[in-house]
Structure 1
C-alpha cells in the first residue's frame, strides 16, 4: 500500500508540473473535452483552429487524472467528420441554437410559417426575409403574409424574430449597396429606417444579408455594421450578419467580409456554407462536407466560436442544358419518383444526387441536401463547439431532418 501511495503521489506531481508547462489554449478555440479528446480528431483541422493535436504524454496523464474526477461527464469529440457517421461529441458543449431563415415568395405562401409552427420546439430564432435596402437608404417591404401575426406566433413559442434585410441588386452600372455603404449620410438613413421597421413590428433584432458587396467596400461594410451595432445594441436588440464562406482572402465575392472586424459588431455571424455549386457552375454538391469544414476552419481563425453559425441548406438544384433550377425537397423527390430514379450517395462529399432524362430527351442532374447529408454538417457543430446552425429555408426541407435537428437543438 505504501508503494502504491508513493506511485500515486509521484504521478500527481508529474501531472502538476506538466500542466504548468503546457501553454494556455485560447478559450474561443476549444472546450475542455476537445483538449482531452483531440487525438481522435483531425490534426489538420486542429492546427487550422489554432490548437495542438492533443497527442502526447501530457494529454494521457491529464485524461487519466481528470477522468477520475469527471467520470463520464465528458466524451470524445467527433472524429474526422468528413468520414464519420453522424453528429456526436462532447456532452458538455454549450447549448446550440437553430436559426431558421423564413421567406414568403407570394402572398399565400405559408410553407415557412407551417414549418415554424410544427417545429417550434426546435427553432430558437427565425429571420424573415421581409425587407430590401435601396440605393437611397430607404427600406422597401417585400410583402408576404401579415408580419404582425407571424411575430405574435413566434413570440408565443419563445422564438426570437430578426428582420432579414438584403440589398437591392445591381442595375447596369449602378451598384446600390456601394452607393449606400460609401456614403455616411446614407448609412445613417438606412440604419434609422431599419430601427423604425424593427420597432414597428416589435422585432428582436436584425439580420443583415448584404451579398455581392464590392471588395472595395470592405471597410465601408465594417463601418456600417459598427454604426448599426452602436445604434441597436444599447437598446437590447440582436445584431447579426450573413457572410460568404471563404478559405483565403483572394475570393473577390467574399473579400468584403472582414471576419475579424465584423465579429466585433455582431452577436451572430451566419457563414453561408451552401451553394458550393449553383447556377454559375456545372452540377455538383450543394455543400461538399470537405469544403464546408475548410470554410469553417478558416472562419474560426477570426470569429469567436460562440458567435459563429454554420449555414445549412434545405434545397437542391436541377442542372440541364436548359438552365439551372432551384428546387425544394418535395419537388426533388417527386422528380426522382416520376422518372423512376433511385437517389445515389456520393460518399466523398457526403451528398445525395441522381440523374434523369426528361421527356424531350434533355439530360438532367440533381444534387440536393437531405437528412443524411445534414448529419455530417451537424457533427461539425459538436466537433468545433460553435454556436449553432442557420437553415435556408424553413418549408423547403426534407421532413426527415426534424428528428435529426430535434436531437441537437430541442429547446
Structure 2
C-alpha cells in the first residue's frame, strides 16, 4: 500500500522547465499541489517513517524538518497535501542583499528539484525593532514569497512567529508587513514560559487565556485571521521541583533566557507518548488546572526528587481548536507530528487518534468556557 505511489522513476519537468527525475509511480504526483482546504492542518515532520501513521484525512501541509523523504512527498501529494521545505538562514546573511537573493534562489531550486510546494521560514532569532535585521527580515519574507509564487505556481510560503507579537524572546519583527507578504503565519502557541518574569514556578506550556489573548493582539495589528495558523504542542515540560507546596505549586530552579530571570529551560521537553506512559503511574495521576485549563501531574524520580509535568492533551487542545473555528483562523497545526505513540497497542492507538481528532474545531467547546 505504502509503495503504490513510490515505485517508478520517470523523467519529468520541474515548474521552471529543468529536467528532474520524478520518484513517484504516477508522474502527476510530482506536480505542485494547488488545492486550498477550508481548514489548514499544518504538520511538522522531523524525519523517520512515523508519517505513515498520521491521520491523512486531516493533513493539508507537511513541513519537512527532517531528511528529505521522496516517499513522503509522493504520498502527501497523493492525499492532496502540500510538502514544504524548512527555511532557516543566519541574520548575517539576511542583511546582505546579494546573500539573501542567493539563499532564496538556492531554496526555490531545491524545492523544484524535490517537487515540493513551498517553504516554511523558521528564523526565531532575536531582532531589535527598526534595526537593519528588522527591515532585512521583512524583505526576506516578501522576496521569498515573490520568487516561490513565480517559480512554483500555487506554492505556499509560511513564517513561524512567537505565541505573541509583543517582542517575545526579543523577536521584535514587523509582524504586519510579514503577514501581508506571505501566505500564512504559523503562530507557535507553546513555550509560553520561555520568559518568566514573575514567580519562578512550573506552569502550563500554553495557558488557555494567555494563548487566545495573543491572537487578539495579532488581529489587532490588522492581520487577517485567515493568515493565522494556531500551533499547539504535542509535548510537555518536566520540571524538577525545589519545593512542592500543599496547593501543588512547584518552585523551579532559575534558568535565565533573553533577559528574563527564569524560563521553561529549567525543565525538559517530553513527548506526548512518554507522558502517557508515565501519568498513570505518577503519584498524582492526571490533574487539571481550572485557571490555565491544562493538565499536569506530579511524580517522584528514582532519587526521590519531586517533579511536575505540564502538557496538552485532547481536552486542552480541543478548547483551543474551538477558538480557531469560532474566530475563523486559517487553521491549526502541531509541533510535531512524530511525538505520538503510533504502535499497535490499543490504548496508544486511541490516545493518538484522540489527539488528531482534537484538532478539528468543535465550536461548542468554547461556548462552555465562555459561559
Normalised to the residue count of structure 2, the TM-score between the two structures is 0.71
SS at match of 1:284: coil
Q: Which has the higher contact order (CA 8 A, sep 6+)?
A: 1
2:65 alignment partner, one of 114, 125, 129: 129
SS at match of 2:192: coil
The CA deviation at 1:370 is: 0.4
Deviations 1:320-375 (Å, cap 9, x if unpaired)?
A: 16952211111012222333531000011110001111120111110001000001
The CA deviation at 1:251 is: 4.1
In the superposition, relative to structure 1, how do residues 407 and 230 fare at CA in structure 2: closer, same or farther (>3 Å)? Answer: closer
Deviations 1:180-222 (Å, cap 9, x if unpaired)?
A: 1111111011101111210121001111010123223211100
Q: Tell me what 2:117 maps to.
A: 204
Structure 1 residues without counterparts, runs of 5 or longer:
1-93, 131-142, 168-176
The CA deviation at 1:279 is: 9.3
Report if the CA contact (8 A) 2:318-2:360 is conserved: no
2:229 alignment partner, one of 293, 309, 313: 309
Q: Is structure 2 residue 200 aligned with structure 1 residue 264?
A: no
Alignment of 1:76-155 (within 5 A): 95-104=38-47, 109-111=48-50, 113-116=51-54, 119-130=55-66, 143=67, 147-155=69-77
| Range that drifts further, 378-387 or 395-404 | 395-404
Q: Tell me what 2:238 maps to.
A: 318
Q: Tell me what 2:126 maps to.
A: 213
Report if the CA contact (8 A) 1:178-1:213 is conserved: no
Separation (CA, whole Å) in 2 of partners of 1:262 and 1:278 = 23
The CA deviation at 1:406 is: 4.9
1:183 alignment partner, one of 66, 84, 96: 96
Q: Tell me what 1:401 maps to.
A: 355
Deviations 1:91-131 (Å, cap 9, x if unpaired)?
A: xxx93211111112xxxx323x1333xx100111111114x
Report if the CA contact (8 A) 2:283-2:298 is conserved: no
Report if the CA contact (8 A) 2:321-2:360 is conserved: no
Q: Tell me what 1:241 maps to.
A: 159
SS at match of 2:57: coil
Separation (CA, whole Å) in 1 of partners of 2:297 and 2:270 = 14
Separation (CA, whole Å) in 1 of partners of 2:305 and 2:109 = 50
Separation (CA, whole Å) in 1 of partners of 2:42 and 2:57 = 12
The CA deviation at 1:278 is: 5.1
In the superposition, relative to structure 1, how do residues 307 and 368 fare at CA in structure 2: closer, same or farther (>3 Å)? Answer: same
In the superposition, relative to structure 1, how do residues 234 and 384 fare at CA in structure 2: closer, same or farther (>3 Å)? Answer: same
Separation (CA, whole Å) in 1 of partners of 2:64 and 2:195 = 24
Report if the CA contact (8 A) 2:325-2:361 is conserved: no
Q: Tell me what 2:146 maps to.
A: 230
Separation (CA, whole Å) in 1 of partners of 2:92 and 2:216 = 33
Q: Tell me what 1:284 maps to.
A: 203
Q: Which is helix-richer, 1 or 2?
A: 1
Structure 2 residues without counterparts, runs of 5 or longer:
1-36, 242-252, 254-265, 341-350, 363-371
Report if the CA contact (8 A) 1:247-1:294 is conserved: no
Q: Tell me what 1:70 maps to.
A: none
Alignment of 1:350-369 (within 5 A): 350-369=293-312
- Number of equivalent positions: 283
Normalised to the residue count of structure 1, the TM-score between the two structures is 0.65
Q: Tell me what 1:40 maps to.
A: none
Separation (CA, whole Å) in 2 of partners of 1:209 and 1:291 = 23
Larger Cα Rg: Structure 1 or Structure 2? Answer: 1
